[in-house]
Chains A and B, each alone.
Chain A
Amino acid sequence: MSEATSAPGRIEAAHLHYTYPDGTEALRGVELTVEPGEKVALVGPNGAGKSTFLLHLNGILGGGHGSVVIDGTTVEPATVKRIRAAVGLVFQDPDDQLFSPTVREDVAFGPIHMGVAEHELHHRVERALAAVGMSGFERRVPHHLSLGQRKRIAVATVLSMDPSVLVFDEPTAGLDPRGRRELMAVMASRLETLLVSSHDLAMVAETLPRTVIIDEGAVVADGPSAELLRDEELLEAHGLESPYRLPGESARDAGRSS
């Protein structure tokens, strides 16, 4: 186990396999390395193993073959607590993520479990809410907020833990254009390593420079978003669709004209 030499936030997954208790083989040898500060999209059809992979990153799932290493620390039962402070997981449905009676308590949940001192706690909650543009919502009740607001608060609940890796599962699903824009602005403003699973390829093209396509439990393509997202053949083979395609125009034409 070697300590990270540069900025933290490096993800290395090697030969990662996972089979659910019901026999579904979700991951079949995922290989992926993400450098600190990189912004990476994880795309692929439903059931490709994206969410399963994300749940491995901070040890919610595990026990199959292969390994996940975060900043030189292998994810295993002995290290999982440290890993969970380093890897912030934002779930798709904010109603799952926000389980406390008030926004403040939810944002404070992670830091309290990390043993953050009382005087710093307040500071952390304020900073995390400010980072997602939700300052002043501390005393509000989650179910009285809009989906977009709840999504951003869900992001704040992990930002308050000062992670070096941020993992989002379908962040823009179900949001209206304004809510989607606001969330994209939050993602673009972060300096942490970003790994985002999504079907929103237009968002990927705009926010995340690198794209990894995952299908049937393995990485099938990995490269610059600008290139991969124009490769219609590749995208269609894996149940995806180029965000550049306009009616009556092929992706290659769109690529040439730009």
Chain B
Amino acid sequence: MELDRYIPRHSPAHRADARLKIVLAVAAVLGIALLPVGAFVAYALVWLVLVGASAFARLGPTRLMRGSWVVLPFVLVAVPLLFTRPGEALLTVELGPIVLTITDAGLRDMLSIMAKSWLSVQAALLLAYTTPFADLVDALRGLRIPAVIVSIIGFMYRYLAVLTDEAGRMSRARQARSAAAPQGRSGGSFTWRAKVTGAMVGSLFIRSYERSERIYAAMLARGFTGTFQSAELARPDQRSLVWFAVVLAAIVIFVAVVNLWALR
């Protein structure tokens, strides 16, 4: 289990301040969401920009697309739109008593949602590929996200790996003793196996709970008093701030122009 998707490269996109990158990524996702339905030319332009950005970050032009398939199960949610939007019928499917009609509006809406989610994921991936996870956590803190939330993200990052190791060791110990008698079947009954799995989950929970108490003791021992404190980050330099403003303005203008065009 690895949360960190960082791909180390030497590029200006990697060197840029993580706070500015987070704001730009959020702005890009918002901007994509605000593009009008059915503006496929605009989607294609955004896609080209992302391909360019991926190449600019030395990730290779196709890396973002290859990574973005994780979005697939989520875009399936948009499929029912095909049949539920009123519009001109394109195709009627009869499944026994159920009659499903695909409409042109439904098709357009579904494709728009799919394209937008796919592009949004690529924008987020660009951030994740070019920024180490620890920098993202630092940057969130720098953006004045409440310290408790940032700390939870930090702890999650640190201990997900520890917990996965622990779960892995437990299941290996189970496998090592999951033998079969020379004759006869192996594996026990389904309910018995379900019970064993349940007990493993329970014991993982207890272990984590006990670990959390030890971690808390380790924090107390180093002077933790209940409020999270951390070192201040340096201010981003003038040049990155100018770049930041230019990209942010480009996103805003692009979204505004496309929307005005659609209203025409």
Contact = CB atoms under 8 A, between A and B. Distances in A.
B222 A99 contact: no
A100 B154 contact: yes
B223 A110 contact: yes
Interface in A131-174: 139, 141-143, 157-158, 161
Interface stretch (A29-37, A40-48, A85-93, A192-200): A85-93
A118 B220 contact: no
Contacts of A101: 133-134, 137, 154, 157-158
Residue among B134, B137, B157, B159 with max Cβ neighbours from chain A (10 Å): B134
A114 interface: yes
Interface in B207-235: 211, 214-215, 217-225, 229-232
Given A110-B222, A158-B222, A105 B229 contact: no
A74 interface: no
Interface residues of A, number: 34
B74 interface: no
Given A99-B155, A99-B215, A105-B134, A84 B223 contact: yes
A143 B222 contact: no
A114 B231 CA distance: 12
Contact of B225 (A81, A109, A142): A81
Contact of B224 (A96, A113, A118): A113
A93 B214 contact: yes
B89 interface: no
Contacts of A157: 222
B215 A102 contact: no
A142 B223 contact: no
Given A101-B154, A118-B232, A143-B161, A96 B218 contact: yes
A89 B155 contact: no
Interface in B179-211: 211
A237 interface: no
Nearest to B164: A143
B100 interface: no
Nearest to B153: A101
A95 interface: yes
B4 interface: yes
A60 B220 contact: yes
Contacts of A141: 4, 133-134
B223 A161 contact: yes
B162 interface: yes
A85 B218 contact: no
B224 A60 contact: no
29 contacts: A55-B217, A58-B221, A60-B217, A81-B223, A81-B225, A84-B223, A85-B223, A91-B217, A91-B218, A95-B211, A96-B215, A99-B159, A101-B154, A105-B230, A105-B231, A108-B230, A109-B222, A109-B224, A110-B223, A112-B229, A112-B231, A113-B222, A113-B225, A118-B232, A141-B4, A141-B134, A143-B158, A157-B222, A158-B221
Interface of B: 4, 132-134, 137, 154-155, 157-159, 161-162, 165, 211, 214-215, 217-225, 229-232
Interface of A: 55, 58, 60, 81, 84-85, 88-89, 91, 93, 95-102, 105, 108-110, 112-114, 118, 121, 139, 141-143, 157-158, 161
